[in-house]
Amino acid sequence: MSQKNDKDLYVPERARIVETKEMTDLEKYFRIKLLDREALGHAPGQFVMVTVYGVGEVPISVSSPPNGRSGEFELVVRKAGNVTQALHNLGTESLVGIRGPFGTNFTSKGFERKDILFIAGGIGLVPLRSFIKQVVNENKKYRKITILYGAKSPDELLFKEEMDQWGKKENVEVKITVDKGDPSWKGNVGVITTLIPPLEIDIQNTLVAVVGPPVMYKFVILSLASKKVANKNIYLSLERRMKCGVGKCGNCQIQGSYACQDGPVYCFADIEHLKEAL
């Protein structure tokens, strides 16, 4: 992992906000550049600890793929508590603190020339986007890429334009659904699991990456199970309240596993026996 120095375990590095965008009522986009280091060096699915100085620190998944613009990375932050709210009040040129990246990551290794199925619920798209972009940017390396995305309502959909762009690639299919439509919505209505039964999944040769709110996992796992997808091919990212990010503070523990070190990205086969996981 790229923790730069043991001696600075809890010391944040300085970073500058170079661009912000309001995405929805609750979500805001940040493009961030490290001041004292070239690149973040993250992998898809990893997270960073973001400091708003004097307010506190909060774990946020990196939303951009690796090897983005030099030294820059993207975050999408939902306004939910003390630190995230303060973060929303920051504009470009503001400095924030960064520790990390931390945790395990998604990888498509072993699935070249095979299929990849992404399932994102709500802001689960944010961490998954890093992996989706990595795969879609090299779409020729894979056979079929399917992206399922569900949100509560049309105005909560994130990265809609990007979704359209991804869907235009020849082997990429994007399917979007909302729990509740509005008069202008012409697409699917229903929870995300309604998109799974019609899929044709080559179960031996498909990698499934799932990120969503805690309640979504159980249902998605059930749907995938009824399609006979093997647990070892399902990867998911579990949300917990990381405080230290380095396996010490205990806040993110899932039974014997530390979500900040052994996760947040887990192979489902490794955690299916953990009752606290889902």
Partner 1 sequence: MHKISSEKFHKVLEQIIKDNETYGAVKKRDEYIYDRLETLSDLEIENYVPTVLPPKKYFYPQEEDLVQIDYKTKKANRVIFKKEIVLLGVRPCDINAISLFDRIMSDGNPDPNYLERRKHITVIGFDCVKSCWEHALCEAVGTINVKEGYDLFFSEYKKEYVIKTGSKKGEELFDRYIKNSHKLSEKERDDYHHERAERIKKFNHKVKYLFQDVSSIFEKHYDDPYWKEIGKICLMCGSCVMVCPTCYCFTMDEEVDLKLQTVTRKRKWDGCMLRDFAMVAGNHNFRPTAEMRLKHRWNRKFNYLLKKYHMSNCVGCGRCGFACLVKINPIDILNTIMGNYYSGVKHESEK
Partner 2 sequence: MKPKVAFFDFASCEGCQLAVLDLEEELLDLVNIVEIVNFREAISEKGEDYEIAFIEGSISSEHQIERIKKIRKQAKLLITIGACACTGNMQYLSNFFDFEEVKEYVYGDKAKYFDPVQSKPIDQIVNVDFQIPGCPIDKYEFLKVVKQVIAGGLPRIPNYPVCSECKMQGNECLLKKGILCLGPVTRAGCGAICCKNFKYCFGCRGLAPEFNIESFKDVLRSIGYKEKGIMAQFKIVNGKDIQLLQSGGK
Binding residues among 246-275 for partner 1 as defined by CB under 8 A: 246-251, 253-256, 261, 275
Does residue 48 belong to the site contacting partner 1 (CB under 8 A)? Answer: no
Count the residues in the chain: 278
Element (H, E) at 252: none
Nearer to partner 1, 136 or 242 (CB): 242
Q: Which of 216, 62, 176 lies closest to 126 in space, CA to CA?
A: 62
Stretch that binds partner 2, among 46-54, 192-200, 213-221, 245-253 (CB under 8 A): 46-54
The gap between the terminal CA atoms of the chain, to the nearest Å, is: 26
Does residue 1 belong to the site contacting partner 2 (CB under 8 A)? Answer: no
Nearer to partner 1, 174 or 246 (CB): 246
Residue 244 interacts with, from partner 2, partner 1, none (CB under 5-8 Å by kind): partner 1
Angle between helices 160-168 and 125-137 (to 10 degrees): 30
CB of 43 vs partner 1, minimal distance in Å: 18
How far CA 198 is from CA of 195, 206, 223, in Å, comes to 6, 15, 11
CB of 238 vs partner 2, minimal distance in Å: 24
Q: Which of 49, 52, 195, 277 binds partner 2 (CB under 8 A)?
A: 52
Does residue 86 belong to the site contacting partner 2 (CB under 8 A)? Answer: yes
Stretch that binds partner 2, among 75-83, 119-127, 130-138, 185-193 (CB under 8 A): 75-83
Does residue 54 belong to the site contacting partner 2 (CB under 8 A)? Answer: yes
Q: Which of 215, 172, 177, 171 lies closest to 195 in space, CA to CA?
A: 177
Torsion angle (degrees, nearest 10) of CA 213, 83, 58, 192: 10
**CB–CB of 232/243 below 8 Å?**
no
Interacting residues with partner 2 (CB under 8 A): 52-56, 81-83, 85-86, 89-90
